[in-house]
Chain A
Amino acid sequence: MILNICGFRAVCIAVALSAAPATHAALAGKGGREALAIVKGVTAPFSLYGLTESLRQIPGVDRVVFDMEHGIADITFKPGASATEAQIRQAIGNASFTPGKISWKSAAGGGQ
């Protein structure tokens, strides 16, 4: 189950995740929470660099993998670490992009 999902947002995440289920499952980190954040405006590798570095500045972030086709940042936290949605949104905005829906899941793949 995924937190903060209702209405249109739920549809967006469901569509986005169902489009690449295997890859996102494979990207899930071990032991830490994982956030999937929709990021609007990312179109090229070079400007993506600023986004991943900005997200890595959030304390506790272990890894960031971006899916260009679906505009999803897969943010894996170190065990025991987490962040607020506001922190993630701020990091995305700082990279000059527009944040969308953010959802959470645990390392085992289940939501909270």
Chain B
Amino acid sequence: MTGTLSGRFSAWNCRLAGLVVWLCIFLALAIPARAQVTFPGAEPIAGGQVAVRLQPMLTESTMGGQSYDGRTILQFGATPLLFLQAETGLPNSNSINDPATGGSRSQTATGIGDTTLVARYTVYHQDGIGTSFRIAPLVGVTTPTGMDDANGQAARALQPGTGNWGTRGGLVVQYLTLDTTTAAEIEYRANFPGAGYQFGNTFVANAGFHYKLWPSHFAPGKIDQFDLALETNYSIAGRDLGGGRTVPGTGRTLWLIDPGVMFMTPRWAIAALALLPIDEQVPHGGARFRYGAEMAFRFNFYTPHHF
């Protein structure tokens, strides 16, 4: 009986997962999109434009798990179509109740996270008055610059750095109008073994819709904007390998929905989103995602020096 229910539950999750993937593909192909918060967009970045993003994320999971990811992102428009990004965790901190002590003691690892370098190239854009449709593939590499032994007593998965080299490849499609932004992204992240451990590869599918709540119309020279945002993130993470064996409690499927708000000016922007789980599958012994919050602060600069 339990097996039947489990099978039904699993089949239902598979249908949901399939629905999300197909929704993303549909959005990517049919509804081409403004800057998203929880995933990269394909918005225009001028050659010479520099943006600094501070994007702290706080999440809470079962087993007393708490995680703070203080992502700091530097973006540069190398050319009108080529966009470069460096991202690191400053700092990252993860903690969870130690199962070995029956949960009575907490383990925490705090330090600098890995650095990820990403290049995005706009391969197609069709612009109109107040509209833009853009397609941009992206590739990236994760360098093991983070601290993978910040706390020698804590589990490897808690460390702020992975100790793994990694690569990623993805595709972003965006359709932007003066009132709405629709975006979709799919991405695959592969990790390579390092320091005796290998984090599982991850497939990610994201979609987002932003709606301009204010102003109803832009007056010339008056261009501040307030958006309502709704984004969603679906990820399938493979199990970690440690010492040549799969690590218990690792690997999961997670689907989040992220309602929030964003305020933008030409020079800066601020956003806040809640991260709420819709569905999750975790192996026995794994912590379940409960909720989270993500904020984003962006500042624009410009340099005439670019390619």
Does B89 reach chain A (CB closer than 8 Å)?
A: no
A96 to B302, CA, bound (A): 14
Q: Is B266's CB under 8 angstroms from A48's CB? A: yes
Determine how close the nearest CB of chain B comes to the CB of A53; give it in whole angstroms: 4
**Complex partner residue of B80 from A72, A74, A94, CB under 8 angstroms:** A94
Q: Is B302's CB under 8 angstroms from A50's CB? A: yes
A-B CB contact pairs (8 Å), 18 listed: A38-B129, A40-B129, A41-B44, A41-B125, A43-B131, A43-B177, A44-B35, A44-B43, A44-B225, A45-B269, A46-B35, A48-B266, A49-B49, A67-B221, A69-B218, A71-B129, A95-B80, A96-B77
Does A98 reach chain B (CB closer than 8 Å)?
A: yes
Interface residue ranges, A against B (CB under 8 Å) = 20, 23-24, 27, 38, 40-54, 57, 65-72, 74, 93-98, 100
Main secondary structure of the interface of A (DSSP, over half): mixed
A3 to B269, CA, bound (A): 39
Q: Is B224's CB under 8 angstroms from A45's CB? A: yes
Does B15 reach chain A (CB closer than 8 Å)?
A: no
Determine how close the nearest CB of chain A comes to the CB of B258; give it in whole angstroms: 19
Determine how close the nearest CB of chain A comes to the CB of B63; give it in whole angstroms: 39
Q: Is A65's CB under 8 angstroms from B221's CB? A: yes
Max chain A C-beta neighbours (<10 A), residue from B34, B132, B181, B220: B220
Q: Is B49's CB under 8 angstroms from A24's CB? A: no
Q: Is A96's CB under 8 angstroms from B46's CB? A: yes
Give chain B interface residues in 105-156, CB to chain A under 8 Å: 122, 125, 127-132
Interface size, B (range):
35 or more
Q: Across the interface, which residues of B come within 8 angstroms of A48, CB to CB? A: 223, 266
**Complex partner residue of A95 from B47, B177, B178, B223, CB under 8 angstroms:** B47
Closest to A64 in B: B221
Given contacts A74-B220, A96-B122, contact A50 B45 (CB under 8 A): yes
Give 1 or 0 for each of B281-300: 1 = CB within 8 Å of chain A CB: 00000000000000000101
Interface residue ranges, B against A (CB under 8 Å) = 34-35, 43-49, 77, 80-81, 122, 125, 127-132, 176-178, 181, 217-221, 223-225, 264-267, 269, 298, 300, 302, 304
Q: Is B220's CB under 8 angstroms from A43's CB? A: no
A47 to B35, CA, bound (A): 9
Q: Across the interface, which residues of A come within 8 angstroms of B298, CB to CB? A: 46
Given contacts A51-B46, A67-B220, contact A46 B176 (CB under 8 A): no
Q: Across the interface, which residues of B come within 8 angstroms of A43, CB to CB? A: 34, 130-132, 176-178, 181
Q: Is A96's CB under 8 angstroms from B128's CB? A: no
Given contacts A23-B219, A23-B220, contact A94 B46 (CB under 8 A): yes
Q: Across the interface, which residues of A come within 8 angstroms of B265, CB to CB? A: 45-46
Q: Across the interface, which residues of A come within 8 angstroms of B218, CB to CB? A: 67-69
Q: Across the interface, which residues of A come within 8 angstroms of B217, CB to CB? A: 69
A91 to B223, CA, bound (A): 20
